[in-house]
Amino acid sequence: MVILSSESCLRQRSNNKGRDSGGWLHGGSGSKIGLSLFKKVGEMGSVGNICFPSVFRAPMDTQVVWKQMKNKSTCSLMLPLNHAARFSPIFCKLSESGIEENPTSKRESKSKDRMEDYNTAMKRMMRNPYEYHHDLGMNYTLITDNLIVGSQPQKPEDIDHLKKEEGVAFILNLQQDKDVEYWGIDLQSILRRCRELEIGHMRRPAKDFDPDSLRNELPKAVSSLEWAISEGKGRVYVHCTAGLGRAPAVAIAYMFWFCGMTLNTAYDMLTSKRPCGPNKRAIRGATYDLAKNDPWKEPFESLPEHAFEDIADWERNLIQDRVYSLRGT
């Protein structure tokens, strides 16, 4: 099996052949190929990028499975990790922000420093091996037919893409203002484009790399997500900065509380499609807060690690009622 390095990925990007005007890399028959931006340390070597070229040779024990999703072809690559692991496609809207420029330029150097600092903090605080590569543009994964989890949109054109290609009707942003400022995102231009395209933009900020903040904000964030999905106007795009912590946690909590899944089932479903490391304990804590909201309850910290990974029907009904009550708050 051949895994291209980050450098090879950039070379692929700089070649306009096999690339449409929107910045997507194409496979055979015009199929959009997902770019897997993350790989696990220990399973596949050091953390970096995996890029699937438009033409590649698959080893004998690797299968390329083509699926039809709403008249669009997507490519899922079955990677032979112990001959079992499966990676779903992560779509990457490649940035036009100057990858082809002189690598010694000050702008590129500052961007690289920001990414290194961010990824160092993420590894230290979240204790997972994943990385965010801002220079490769917005990336996202379709979790269910009406729910997408991804990284931050970086420019108005990303909003155009989400509307036209994915039928997004609502965006739920979990970033704080300082997150947006750190990456130099012009949020106002993104909000203007959302208004022009009649996309509802909602904000439920939670502090990055902070499980306590995530636990506190999950009920309101899930309330916004549940409402947007119930409107039935189109897909909901949930994002934080990298789409690796806060956003997947909100999606998992929604599936746990409203789709009749256990926490582990919802967690495994999402992470099998989008490799990431959302904080399961924060989701358990938020579940406890909603289901056991009385002054005499046993402290969450004293409960066993598996507590609130599943809930009774009456607890789920109570959680749903309390989440419904948070609409508009």
Residue of 92, 194, 240, 276 marked catalytic: 240
Neighbours of 218 (CB within 10 A): 28
The strands making up 200-203's β-sheet, listed across from edge to edge, are: 91-93, 138-144, 147-150, 235-239, 168-173, 200-203
Tell me if residue 9 is catalytic.
Answer: no
Distance CA 112, CA 293 (A): 45
**Catalytic residue numbers, as ranges:** 240
